[in-house]
Amino acid sequence: RYQRRDLGARIWGLEHRQPMLRVTVTDAQGRVQYDSQGLAPGQDLSTWNDVLRTLRGEYGARTSRLDPADPSSSSMHVAAPVRLDGRLAGVLTVVAPTASLHPYAERSRRKVLQAGAVLLGSALLVGVLLTGWLGRSVARLKAYAGSVAEGRPATLPSLGGELAELGRALESMRIQLEGRQYVERYVQHLTHEMKSPLAAIRGAAELLGEPMPEADRERFLANILDQEARLRRLIERMLALATLEHRQSLQDPGPVGLQAILDKVLGALEPSLAKKRVRIRREGLADLEVVGEAFLLEQALRNLLENAVAFSPPEGTVRITLEVAPGRGRVRIRDAGPGLPDWARERLFTPFFSLPGPGDAKGTGLGLSFVREVAKLHQGAVSLDNHPEGGAEARLELPLG
């Protein structure tokens, strides 16, 4: 009945339906009296450990192969004594083939392999993600270092862990190096540019100490005031340029209408336009909007218009054109002057470089440098070149709103 029983048991995820145990019973001399599978009736098992040790009153067990050449035929034998009226009458042995454990061992192996695969996959995924994060962080840090090396505006990227410490160290080093180089460069330029007006002021002051006609005295006083005004403009523009060069990004950028800014700038320049009798001609779009800081764009356009007015002759016309380039808004300002000499084109945006205007008037040499810094901050561009029909034309391109 046991052999025919349907167990219907589920053990550790495996269905166990048929009994796999074998039972043998021997007499007191170790001879088989019963075998549930009928394999060894009448055999003498008295020399096998399970029967021998049990007949001696010890714990009897052994593992043997049913077929010596087949490792999978190994079976475990566990025996217990059979007593009748207090005397040892025989031995009962339960035989369990090790093959019955193979499905569980195989399932365990699969479980271990699956868990190992999941663990390995997780480790690989974490490794890939970590490598990707490190790669992106290093690439951003490299791009930041490249921008700093090329002198372009750059903002320290947001980093984590040790890379954040490295980034802060690079930022600190950049600030210190830029500050030192900036001071050295501008002190040299400023000292050079201040020599001429200071010499003129000193010469006029020395002459004023001597008797002279009133007309000459007024002329020398006017010269002193002009040179003082030039020094003040030089210092003010240098401070403005210094502030701009140390900025790494725009503050609260937004849509800016260029027509409104031009109206404001031209209103401020109206006395200069009237004094020189320079006309303004406006062309192109009336509703062109770009993205940026209105104050900086106003200062940049004012510098470009002041240059155009300064280099235009009396009764000349300055042309202002607003147009759209691919993905950008463009302002073109063309003067009516003699144009640019070829030797000066590569130095136009160099700080403290300026060309003499009509009447040998000399500017500070900082206006175009300021415009270039404004364009860089806005991710735009500025250029200045001769126009085919005469005069010089400045082009300022900015991202569209």
Question: What pLDDT does 197 receive?
Answer: 67
Task: Judge whether residue 86 has pLDDT over 80.
Answer: yes
The pLDDT, as a whole number, for residue 108 is: 85
Q: Which whole number is the average pLDDT over 177-184?
A: 55
Q: 275 is written with which tokens?
A: 């004094």
Q: Once rounded to an integer, what is the mean pLDDT over residues 113-117?
A: 92
pLDDT category of residue 56 using cuts at 50, 70 and 90: very high
Tell me the pLDDT band of 33, cut-offs 50, 70 and 90.
Answer: very high
Q: How confident is the model at residue 59 (pLDDT cuts 50, 70, 90)?
A: very high
Question: For the residues of 320-389, what is the DSSP string, one character each?
Answer: EEEEEETTEEEEEEE--S----GGGGGGTTSTT-----GGG----S-HHHHHHHHHHHTT-EEEEEE-TT
Please state the rounded mean pLDDT for residues 75-83.
94
* 78 pLDDT higher than 90: yes
In the chain, how long is the greatest CA-to-CA distance? 158
Residue 152: pLDDT above 70? no
Q: What is the mean pLDDT of the chain?
A: 80
pLDDT tens digits, residue range 352-394? 677 766 654 555 567 787 788 888 888 888 888 998 888 899 9
**Torsion 205-211-215-218 (CA) sign:** positive
Residue 329's region, left for phi above 0, alpha for psi from -120 to 50, else beta, is beta
Q: What is the distance between the alpha carbons of residues 395 and 387, in angstroms, rounded to a whole number?
A: 11
Q: What is the pLDDT of residue 217?
A: 78
Q: Does the pLDDT of residue 83 top 90, yes or no?
A: yes
Residue 138 confidence class, pLDDT cut points 50, 70, 90: confident
Q: Is the pLDDT of residue 213 over 80?
A: yes
Give mean pLDDT, residues 9-37.
85
Percent of the chain scoring above 90 in pLDDT:
20
Q: Which residue has the higher pLDDT, 199 or 30?
A: 30
More confident call, 251 vs 261: 261
pTM comes to: 0.46
Alpha-carbon gap, residue 387 to 337, rounded angstroms: 10
Q: What sign does the CA torsion over 129, 158, 252, 268 have?
A: negative
Rounded Cα–Cα distance for residues 165 and 316 (Å): 58
Predicted pLDDT of residue 60: 93
